[in-house]
């Protein structure tokens, strides 16, 4: 396998992985993210295997490996693994969302940044911004 073919396989594999990312990100914009994104995951796996094919052939045939092909393959596998990592960090909720647009906000008591106790019922008829932060700390 010549270095040009190694680079071609690695570049196509990286392109397939990037396509998987872009497909998933386009679904986020349309608010149609699947609960189990098999298409994006299988695209990532196919791209990773395609980019690693020159490595396997070169090792099996004891041929020199193009450093540029190695660089592209590492990027493809790294992007695929990062995608899987992000999916594991922020899974979709297991239950349907209870509040819909124009529903009444449920009564919540919370301490604000100044240490004062706030109640959402006190804000009736007023506009207010309620931010949820998902932290692991």
- Tell me the sheet residues that pair with 111: 117
H and E: helices and strands count for the chain: 3, 2
What is the pTM assigned to this prediction? 0.65
The reported pLDDT for the residue numbered 30 is: 81
| pLDDT tens digit sequence for 29-41 | 787 878 778 888 8
| pLDDT tens digit sequence for 9-61 | 999 999 999 999 999 989 887 878 787 788 888 999 999 999 999 888 888 88
Query: Of 6, 18, 14, which is closest to residue 69 (Cα–Cα)?
Result: 6
Q: Under 8 Å CB-to-CB from 77, ≥6 apart: which residues?
A: 48, 51, 52
CA dihedral (5, 8, 10, 16) positive or negative? negative
CA distance 18 to 84: 13
């Amino acid at each position: 396998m010549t270095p040009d073919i190694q680079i071609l396989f690695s570049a196509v594999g990286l392109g397939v992985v990037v396509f998987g990312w872009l497909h998933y990100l386009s679904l986020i914009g349309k608010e149609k993210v699947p609960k189990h994104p098999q298409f994006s995951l299988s695209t990532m796996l196919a791209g990773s295997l395609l980019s690693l094919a020159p490595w396997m052939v070169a090792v099996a045939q004891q041929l020199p490996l193009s450093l540029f092909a190695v660089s592209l393959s590492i990027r493809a596998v790294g992007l695929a693994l990062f995608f899987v990592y992000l999916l594991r960090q922020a899974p979709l909720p297991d239950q349907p969302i209870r509040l819909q647009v124009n529903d009444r906000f449920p009564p919540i008591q919370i301490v604000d940044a100044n240490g004062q106790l706030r109640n959402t019922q006190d804000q009736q008829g007023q506009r207010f911004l309620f931010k949820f932060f998902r932290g692991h700390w």
